[in-house]
Amino acid sequence: VFNPSMPYRLVHMLLASGLTVSFLIAGLSALRYLYGDRSESMWKALRTGVFTAAILIPIQIFAGDQHGLNTLEHQPQKIAAMEANWNTGPNVPLVLFALPDEAAKENRLEIAIPDGASLVLRHSTSGVVPGLNDYPGNHPPVFPVFWGFRVMVGTGILMLIVSWSAAWFLKRRHSLPKPLALIMVPMALSGWLATLAGWYTTEIGRQPWLVTGVLKTADAVGPVAGSHVALTLAVYLILYVLLLIAYLGVLVHLALKAAKDGDASPMPGVMNAALSQPAAGE
């Protein structure tokens, strides 16, 4: 547990947890907003979710960058897989899209930014980035690590754009455009998506090691039949899918119920202010 990556991973995960909750609150509040709820509770929840996310996401991006630099030092083969970089050298491009081919040791349909990976990882366009060919038989599967990392980063960038856009509209216009609110509803699940993609990147990316340089996964396998493992995994998947469906169903039900029961004031506090005014003749 107490290894060089632990402090970075801990901070990264705590921030991810905060973002997951923030976007869940913001997304459910946006759903209430779309159904006409303008109650004070909706506005408070929406602002809490949006502004918390807007504050946390740049901190998370910085923490992720520092975590990546730590990984570069201690698990260079994982970084090579994340970047789908085959040959060690300078001026390595940042690959935005590719279909890594491990058999041919090349990327197909590659779209990349010149020198981008060197700039991100070494903070210099001429920085040397490790390549997979330096670790024959000792690097993780490239395709899932490469794409797991891009799903995580892509979701994080989308979280930044959405949270900052929503924060601007709430601060300046005291409202949300309908298209932005529509985007925020599915973004309620973005924290889970980014977190799962990040853990896939981490756990698949450490292979073939269970503890890097100390214990290989193959050496830690117990004498359990593959059919038993498959059955256990299937039961877990079915159980958690059912729990997820029930959980989301309850959340949506409660959000829609709150929207139905909420007042129709166009801004928070309007109803309370109206109620506080003395009636005519009093």
Q: What is the pLDDT of residue 259?
A: 85
- Average confidence (pLDDT) over 117-137: 92
Tell me, what's the pLDDT at 110? 94
Q: What is the pLDDT of residues 251-281, one digit of tens each?
A: 999 889 888 876 544 444 444 444 344 444 4
Give residue-wise pLDDT tens across range 51-109. Answer: 999 999 999 999 999 999 999 999 999 999 999 999 999 999 999 999 999 999 999 99
pLDDT average, residue stretch 194-212: 93
SS3 of residue 125 by DSSP: coil
Three-state secondary structure call for residue 29:
helix
Q: Is 3 exposed, middle or buried (0-12, 13-18, 19+ CB in 10 A)?
A: exposed
Domain ranges of the chain: 6-83+141-268, 89-129
pLDDT at 262: 63
pLDDT digits (tens, 9 = 90+) for 208-227: 988 888 889 888 888 888 88
